[in-house]
């Protein structure tokens, strides 16, 4: 049966009809999901009972090669023992809630900044797939902003000004904003990457701002002017009219296109309540090595 998507926001976000993604191997279903991503940029799937291995396999089937290693790998090892599976939780290696002074907790506070996954590497991230395993009994939502609608709303003269501009993305920069310090050795592993400020999304051909808190400067512009422009674009792109807020429930899988959206985690009492999610992110390569149907 064909998938259908119910629009959850005037600009973007589609909620899927029932489907068990861990058993979705046929190319028709995978193609419907990709088409949904082209249209909505964020898709919500409820009641997904993924194991870690099943989530990794689904990510590869849908979109090819997986990103291996977040910025935190520069100073700590993941408790999940898999570089392609990101631990989006408030749990320490022993499975207990992290202490307030835990260095990884300090680092993960950066998830509350508007950002784009893996924009600080090259190739950057394309699709992120976040699965909710444990959800606290209080709001611990994630917000998404539609960078395509934000671009469309810019005045013509601003669109012209942005053409050809590139920005440097560094996870070290976004963490420095929060007072997080890296050693010289760690800093060496986090040199960052350069990407255009405006991207054209293949297949849909929609134009989109490519923004993130990781952006340290605009290449070939004086730093003060460049940072002011980035700040103004961020303020424009995260106006309420462009933002959807997702309230998690156990079993939710949310997939978003990092080329077309930004996102941020909303705060909750993470010293009291457990929250555990797993994320897989694919790389934005031109011809993803999609697994054969039925594999």
Note the helical H segments in the chain. 27-40, 52-63, 103-108, 147-152, 156-162, 171-177, 184-188, 223-237
Q: What's the pLDDT at 290?
A: 46
Residue-wise pLDDT for 10-67, tens only, equals 999 999 999 999 999 999 999 999 999 999 999 999 999 999 999 999 999 999 999 9
Q: Of 90, 109, 234, 116, whose CA–CA distance to 179 is shortest? A: 109
DSSP structure class, residue 66:
B
The series of mean pLDDT values per 10 residues for the chain, 295 residues long, is 93 98 96 98 98 97 88 69 91 94 92 96 96 98 98 98 97 91 84 96 96 96 97 98 98 98 98 97 75 38
DSSP structure class, residue 38:
H
Q: Of 79, 37, 92, 81, whose CA–CA distance to 59 is shortest? A: 37
Q: By the 8 A CB rule, do 266 and 114 touch?
A: no
Q: Which residue has the tokens 């395509």?
A: 148
Query: Which residues touch 22 (CB under 8 Å, ≥6 apart)?
Result: 48, 49, 50, 51, 54, 55, 57, 58
Quote the CA–CA distance of 283 and 34 in Å, as a whole number.
Answer: 15
Note the Cα 133 to chain centre separation in Å: 18
- Ordered by where they begin, the domains of the chain are 5-283 (3.60.130.10)
Quote the CA–CA distance of 30 and 114 in Å, as a whole number.
Answer: 29
Task: Map residue 53 onto helix, strand or coil.
Answer: helix
* Token reading at 41: 């940029």
Q: What's the pLDDT at 73?
A: 60
* Token reading at 284: 């934005």
């Amino acid at each position: 049966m064909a998938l259908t998507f119910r629009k959850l926001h005037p600009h973007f976000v589609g909620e899927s009809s029932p489907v068990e993604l861990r058993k979705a191997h046929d190319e028709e279903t995978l193609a419907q999901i990709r088409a949904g991503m082209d249209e909505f940029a964020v898709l919500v799937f409820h009641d997904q009972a993924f194991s870690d291995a099943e989530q990794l396999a689904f990510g590869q089937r849908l979109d090819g090669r997986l990103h291996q290693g977040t910025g935190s790998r520069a100073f700590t090892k993941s408790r999940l023992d898999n570089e392609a599976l990101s631990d989006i939780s408030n749990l320490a290696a022993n499975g207990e809630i992290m202490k307030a002074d835990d260095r990884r907790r300090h680092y993960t506070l950066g998830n509350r900044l508007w950002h784009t996954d893996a924009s600080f590497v090259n190739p950057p991230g394309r699709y992120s797939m976040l699965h909710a395993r444990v959800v606290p009994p209080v709001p611990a939502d994630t917000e998404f902003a539609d960078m395509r609608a934000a671009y469309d709303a810019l005045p013509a003269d601003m669109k012209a000004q942005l053409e050809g501009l590139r920005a440097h993305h560094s996870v070290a920069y976004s963490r420095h904003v929060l007072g997080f310090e890296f050693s010289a050795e760690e800093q060496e592993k986090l040199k960052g990457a350069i990407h255009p400020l405006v991207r054209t999304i293949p297949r849909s051909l929609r134009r989109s701002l490519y923004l993130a808190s990781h952006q340290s400067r605009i290449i070939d512009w004086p730093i003060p002017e460049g940072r002011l422009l980035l700040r103004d674009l961020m303020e424009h792109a995260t106006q309420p009219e462009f933002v959807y807020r997702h309230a998690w429930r156990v079993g939710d899988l949310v997939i978003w296109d990092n080329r077309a959206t930004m996102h941020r985690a909303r705060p909750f009492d993470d010293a009291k309540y457990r929250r555990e999610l797993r994320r897989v992110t694919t790389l934005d390569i031109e011809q993803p090595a999609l697994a054969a149907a039925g594999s």
